[in-house]
Amino acid sequence: MNVEVFYIILFVIAALYAAVGHGGASGYLALMALYGVAPKEMKPTALVLNLFVSMTSFIQYYRGGHFKLRIFLPIALASIPLAFVGGMIHIEDVLYKRILGVLLLFPVFRFFFFKSPDDKDLKEPNPYLSLIFGGIIGLFSGMIGIGGGILLSPVLILLKWTNQKQTAAISAAFIFVNSVSGLGGMLTKEISFTNDMWMYVVCAFAGGLLGSYLASSKLNQNGIKYVLAVVLLMAAYKLIII
């Protein structure tokens, strides 16, 4: 794959993810895996890109009044320390790609099958379940090098704790804090970044800005979700089967 094509795809992935309130780490990881980047570089690189994209997405949704701190706090409090622990865990390369492929299926199912609940159907979050889900997702996030938004979003929607925009706002904040914590755990070990890291950041940040703009425009978000779901499904197939 030509390096220019890689940067273009990276930009598009960041834009699509930001438009639906995610940082995009799972997409970046899939792209880097298919491009042949070493896993030891993939995980910290994806988390750094997450920081830029998730923050731009969070700001957009926060300004719209969609962030619910009382729902976010217990989930984040449980996830942050376990994301740090997960960041310290090394996974063998082939197994790593298989796990990543399986995790990519979570947003696919969410985008295709989980519809945003009506506000009248929303339920009060259970604080104990919040802590449990937060901890589990945080651990996997640190291990794989994702922010955890692709795992948290289906949970929030399925349990009817938040609507679509509230889910996006909480997921964006969740991704940011987990990415910081996961990076902290990785820094206790020896990590490395690609020499082209600055170009990765530029492409992802520019894509995140575009995605945030799309999220606030009249562009059909369902269309964006379906496109992203198809892309992730193809990536998951390659990572799991091939």
CA distance 47 to 45: 5
Q: Where are the alpha helices (DSSP H) in the chain?
A: 3-19, 25-35, 39-63, 69-87, 93-113, 127-144, 149-158, 164-186, 197-216, 221-241
Q: Among the listed ranges 9-13, 169-173, 228-232, which one has the minimum average pLDDT value?
A: 228-232
Position 10 pLDDT exceeds 70:
yes
Q: Which amino acid is at 106?
A: F
- Inter-residue contact 214 to 25 (CB < 8 Å): no
Which pLDDT tens digit goes with each residue over 98-131?
888 888 888 787 777 777 778 888 899 999 999 9
Q: Distance between CA atoms of 211 and 205, rounded to whole angstroms?
A: 10
The pTM for the full model equals 0.84
The string over 127-143, giving b where at least 16 C-beta atoms fall within 10 Å of a residue's C-beta and e elsewhere, is eeebeebbbbbbbbbbb
pLDDT at residue 1 greater than cutoff 60: no
